[in-house]
Amino acid sequence: MKHYSNPDSNNWQGRISNKSLYLHEKVKCVPLMEVPEPPKKSIALLGYACDEGVKRNQGRVGAEYGPDVIKKSLAKMPNHLPSTVQLYDAGNITCPDGDMEAAQNALSTGVTSLLDKKHFPIVLGGGHDVAYGHYHGIKKHLDSKQQGQSIGIINFDAHFDLRQNGNNNNSGTPFYQIAMENKAEEINFNYLCLGIRKDANDRNLFQTAKELDVNFVLSDTFQIQFLSEINTWINAFIKTVDKVYVTIDLDGFSSAYAPGVSAPSPMGFTPHIAVECLKTIMASGKLISVDFAEMNPKFDNDGQTAKLAASLVHHIAHELFP
């Protein structure tokens, strides 16, 4: 594959126990198209090493280095997964020539392959244009089964990412692209945003969200004291769809927790509310895949953002496969 690089075992270093006490001792580095169908349960990590969409969106580039940095942080974390659960590093989708659309297509193919083989994909970005390729990978997998299952997108983010793509596609357009394609195919656009900030979206974006019937929770409400109400909204949304795809934009978190992102702000949400909401989503049994976007090591402070992303990956993996 042109837009692909094999997994690098050097990303998986840490304390040696010889008892698989740490994730670097658990993981298997296998090229994407060679990842086998597991005998039981499996998690497959796939990087999206592309920030061309951020560049096009006039953001701070550097997110192409995000996947490897998250893997390096995750490697050192303890392994509590059962021995029956496999963990794979399937390498990275790359964008060496600025052809973001080709990278998104490669990601779509990779996600479909992993889902077809019954892995749970966790995609590590990379700009939020990761969402477009990831969504289509899920859709192709479901369509191939001829199940006609509906997909609900839950986006933890400060931004709608519903910018119109008249000039070009970028990290701010993925959900508008999906919405327009779904409209053309007469498919419902099921989209819930958690943590939306008024200081990060102009009035046109709010109008677009209204026209597309987008569900969202504003940042001043996306707080732990309102967890019960938020969970009610999440559960109501999940009931309307067959499968749930979660995308976590790290710039939605306050820069106190996530300084290493493409568009930081101190006014974002906390990890605590995100973790509690993820528990609710996972408890539904409908979660099919997850990704992380906008990890930018160039601006990280003491690896803080990478540790946050890795901790969330760790939490999701162990919550799904206790």
Please report the pLDDT score of residue 228 as a whole number.
98
pLDDT of 225 over the 90 cut: yes
The answer to whether residues 138 and 62 touch, using CB atoms and an 8 Å cutoff, is no
26-64 residue pLDDT tens: 999 999 999 999 988 999 999 999 999 999 999 999 999
Number of C-beta neighbours around residue 146 at 10 A: 7
Q: How much of the chain exceeds pLDDT 70, in percent?
A: 99
Beta bridge partners of 152: 190, 244
Beta bridge partners of 151: 243
Measured distance CA(266)–CA(125) in Å, rounded:
21
Three-class secondary structure of residue 259 per DSSP:
coil
Alpha-helical (H) ranges within the chain are: 23-26, 52-56, 66-75, 100-116, 130-144, 174-184, 203-211, 227-239, 271-283, 304-320
Measured distance CA(274)–CA(231) in Å, rounded:
11
pLDDT of 187 over the 70 cut: yes
The answer to whether residues 259 and 301 touch, using CB atoms and an 8 Å cutoff, is yes
Please report the pLDDT score of residue 146 as a whole number.
63
Measured distance CA(138)–CA(109) in Å, rounded:
9
245-283 residue pLDDT tens: 999 999 999 999 999 999 999 999 999 999 999 999 999
199 annotated as ligand-binding: no
The full set of domain ranges for the chain reads: 4-320
Please report the pLDDT score of residue 46 as a whole number.
98
Please report the pLDDT score of residue 144 as a whole number.
78
88-142 residue pLDDT tens: 999 999 999 999 999 999 999 999 999 999 999 999 999 999 999 999 999 999 9
Please report the pLDDT score of residue 158 as a whole number.
98
Q: What's the whole-number mean pLDDT along residues 151-169?
A: 95
| Backbone phi and psi for residue 282, each to the nearest 5 degrees, phi listed first | -65, -35
pLDDT of 145 over the 80 cut: no
Three-class secondary structure of residue 26 per DSSP:
helix
161 annotated as ligand-binding: yes
157 annotated as ligand-binding: yes
At residue 321's C-alpha, the angle toward residues 318 and 322, to 5°, is 70
Q: What's the whole-number mean pLDDT along residues 186-213?
A: 97
Measured distance CA(138)–CA(179) in Å, rounded:
15
159 annotated as ligand-binding: yes
Give residue 167's pLDDT band: very low, low, confident or very high (50, 70, 90). confident
Q: What's the whole-number mean pLDDT along residues 298-306?
A: 97
Q: What's the whole-number mean pLDDT along residues 195-219?
A: 98
Q: Which tokens is 211 given?
A: 């026209």
pTM of the model: 0.97
89 annotated as ligand-binding: no
Asked if the peptide bond before residue 110 counts as cis, ω within 30 degrees of 0, the response is no
Helix, strand, coil content of the chain in percent (nearest 5): 40, 20, 40
Average pLDDT along the chain:
96
Task: Let me know if 275 is exposed, middle or buried by CB neighbors in 10 A (0-12, 13-18, 19+).
Answer: middle
Q: Which tokens is 67 given?
A: 């996947």
Q: Which tokens is 252 given?
A: 């939605």
251 annotated as ligand-binding: yes
**Fold (CATH) for 4-320:** Arginase; Chain A (3.40.800)
- The CB-side HSE value for 51 (13 A sphere, CA atoms) comes to 23
Measured distance CA(61)–CA(178) in Å, rounded:
24
pLDDT of 320 over the 80 cut: yes
Which is nearest to 215 in space by CA: 187, 243, 192? 192
